[in-house]
Amino acid sequence: MHTDAPDAAPPPQPTSGERVLVTGATGYIGGRLVPLLLDAGYRVRVLVRTPAKLASAPWRDAVEVVQGDLGSDADVEQACRDVGVMYYLVHSMGGKGDFERTERETAERVARATTAAGVRRVVYLGGLHADDVELSTHMRSRAAVGDTLLAGDVPAVVLQAGVVIGSGSASFEMIRHLTENLPVMPAPSWVHNKIEPIAIRDVLHYLLHAASLPGDVNRAFDIGCREQLTYAALMYGYAREAGLPSRRIYSSPFPAPTLAGWWVALVTPIPHAMAVPLVQSLQQDAITRERDIDALIPPPERGLLGYREAVRLALARMNDGEVETTWTSAGSSSDPLPSDPDWSGRTVYVDARERRTSVAPEHVWEVIEGIGGANGWYSLPAAWVIRGLFDKIAGGAGHNRGRRHPQRLVVGDAVDWWRVEAIERGRLLRLRAEMRVPGGAWLELVAEPDGTGTRYRQRAIYFPRGLAGKLYWWAIWPFHGLIFPSMARNILARAATRAQRGS
């Protein structure tokens, strides 16, 4: 089994089961840090807006869950009580509105709350950047958060990392899809900028040990793998590790960050709102300028992983279906589907299909749970791709976001442009749409025992928002007449094939 956990350096020694608070526990980094903290002997509290997203986390019952929002003074103050160390692992990548002000105010709120609660240490994961250049809006905001925490009364450690390489990270997925989809790539001038990546397991190594640093440490530290490569070299290296033919990258003399952001959004699963700030962050070199962290947190005994070794491990985890968290893990918060009685008096459109099959429910469920990603949507693949392309152009998630595991789903998982909202394993799967539509949309698939066979029920549910929402439904209604009947038919046909193979 491959693991992203620190594997050589001894774990820090907590003070008599010290309590730590982790924000961002439903995200890519936080979801991997929590079990390492538990293994090291800490008592872990997590602050999350939607506790249901933790239902399938293997460590869920070992942590204290506080429901709340970092935008609320009361919630943050409550979460910080009796806490020794706070991990601040959230940021508003591609946030709407004045997200710089929002992030600054949130950091100020955290600084006040940790001071009032007597927290002894704050740990923040920021971005690697130079001090003498004009930063992108995203990087400027992350740097400002770090500065705000360092200016507070509670000692802070700000770890500044560049491109994080690991199965499921946004940076890795961007490199992977660009390299796999474009054997010949016209690229902006930033592909020749210097980048210092770092493996996710080494990020976790530094985060874990930061909790036990002496109390007088209050500063930022650069962290990286000690290899300084161009972004083009990252793609060439990925191609070699993935066994792909040689790639050709031709750069233009123009950076074109906005155009490049749109291009990345169309070619990769990264939505436009994330792709643009990611690309803008590549406009300058992102390399470590000092290695002072070595004096306080030595590298693991195995040494820091090089870029290609990190890629190799990430690919192995993907091939083994062992991707623990992904960049889509955090997702977006949205109201759940109201129960049917609550629909009374509201405008709602439903496309309902029901079929019976002699196939046992477990075979039907296997097909239901495998929906999306490489397995597809069991009906008119071209129609789904085209709809996903339009969604990408509109700034949505698009159709190529994929899924974390090829067979298993848990609440909170992303499945292309959908999000798993509810799952009753063996019976019900409910997906909430994250595409750009004027309203709320859900897809519900149910397999229920019916004598010796199965009754399959399928519902597409849409709550329109205003006139635009109603017009949208009727515009796509003819396509539903093609897509949804074939989906129901093909799901049962595939289940019958699985049953025959198993008999």
Continuous H helices in 268-380: 272-280, 307-319, 361-369
Continuous H helices in 52-152: 73-80, 99-117, 137-150
Question: How many angstroms separate the CA atoms of 470 and 347, rounded?
Answer: 9
Q: Binning pLDDT at 50, 70 and 90, where does residue 5 land?
A: very low
Q: What pLDDT digit, counting tens, does each position of 334-387 carry?
A: 667 776 666 666 788 999 999 999 999 999 999 999 999 888 999 988 888 888
How big is the chain by its Cα radius of gyration, in Å? 24
Helix axes 200-210, 307-319, angle to 10 degrees: 100
User: Half-sphere exposure of 414 toward its Cβ, with a 13 Å CA cutoff?
Assistant: 27
Q: What pLDDT digit, counting tens, does each position of 11-49 carry?
A: 456 555 899 999 999 999 999 999 999 999 999 999 998
User: Closest by alpha carbon to 160, among 128, 186, 114?
Assistant: 128
Question: How many angstroms separate the CA atoms of 263 and 187, rounded?
Answer: 10
Q: Binning pLDDT at 50, 70 and 90, where does residue 1 land?
A: very low
Q: What pLDDT digit, counting tens, does each position of 121-144 carry?
A: 999 999 888 777 777 787 888 899
User: Closest by alpha carbon to 164, among 296, 14, 307?
Assistant: 307
Domains annotated for the chain, with CATH where assigned, are: 19-319 (3.40.50.720), 340-502 (3.30.530.20)
What are the percentages of helix, strand and coil residues in the chain, rounded to 5?
40, 20, 40
- Count of Cβ atoms closer than 10 Å to residue 389 Cβ: 14
Q: What pLDDT digit, counting tens, does each position of 275-295 carry?
A: 877 787 777 888 999 999 999
- Count of Cβ atoms closer than 10 Å to residue 216 Cβ: 6
| Residue 159 φ then ψ, to 5° | -95, 120
Higher pLDDT, 105 or 1: 105
The pTM of this model reads: 0.79
Residue type, 195: I
- H or E, element range at 66: strand 64-67
> Stretch 98-105: mean pLDDT, rounded?
85
The reported pLDDT for the residue numbered 8 is 41
